[in-house]
Every structure is written in structure tokens, then in C-alpha cells.
Amino acid sequence: MKKVLLSLLCLVAITSMVACSKDKKGTEDGKTSETSNEAVTLTGTGKGFGGPITVTVKKEGDKIISVEAVGEKETEGIGTNAIDQLPNKIVEANSTDVDVVTSATVTSQGIIDAVNNALDPDKYPAPQE
């Protein structure tokens, strides 16, 4: 009888602890982060064809709401096409898993890397010069 009572008491204690814990979202690397629908602005850096590319990412919860890219040394009419087009593709896809801009592969990859750096700097560190 004592064993049954003790087992029941342990079960109640464990259930109470689980029910009172904070709601957290698990991540791929095992870390947890609290979810928030509050808008945040993040910055990241990537390596373009002509030099560094800096992005500003606005995110609300898990949704990317805007991406702005700046690459002052990118080739006019080639790299600048990627800077103009790719941020909108990333917002529409809500992901960096998008096709690169034709003839601007290096600049496109630099923008993707910069957005990844903004969203998860531990997993995607900024390039070293």
C-alpha cells in the first residue's frame, strides 16, 4: 500500500512540475527560446563580389516581414540587381532557401549569408576579412 501511495505522490509531483513550466519552443541545436510575436530588427553581414554586404532584417515571431540589403561596392547592373531583387524573394518565401539572381551568384550568396547571420549569428557567423 505504501508503494502505491508513494508512486501516486511522485506522479502528482511530476505532473505539477510539467504543467507549471514555461512554454518554450525547441530549436535544432537543442537550445530553447521563448517565442514572441513582437517585431525585432536584426542586422547581419555577408561577403559579396565587391565587398561586404549588410542586411537589416525585420522579423515578427517566425515571420520575416522585411529585408533591406546594402552593398556599396557591388557591380552596377549585376550585383545591384541581386540587392534589388533578392530581399523580396526572401520575404515572400519567409526563408533564405531561394534561387540566386542570374549573373549575380556571389552577391546573391552574400545576401543569403548575411540574412542567415542576422537570424542566427551563432550558426552563421559573419565572414572574416
62-93 residue pLDDT tens:
999 999 999 999 999 999 999 999 999 999 99
CA distances 75 to 16, 34, 58, 93, Å, are 61, 41, 26, 26
pLDDT recorded at residue 75:
94
pLDDT recorded at residue 19:
64
Coil/strand/helix, residue 125: coil
Query: What domains, with CATH codes, occur in the chain?
Result: 37-119 (3.90.1010.20)
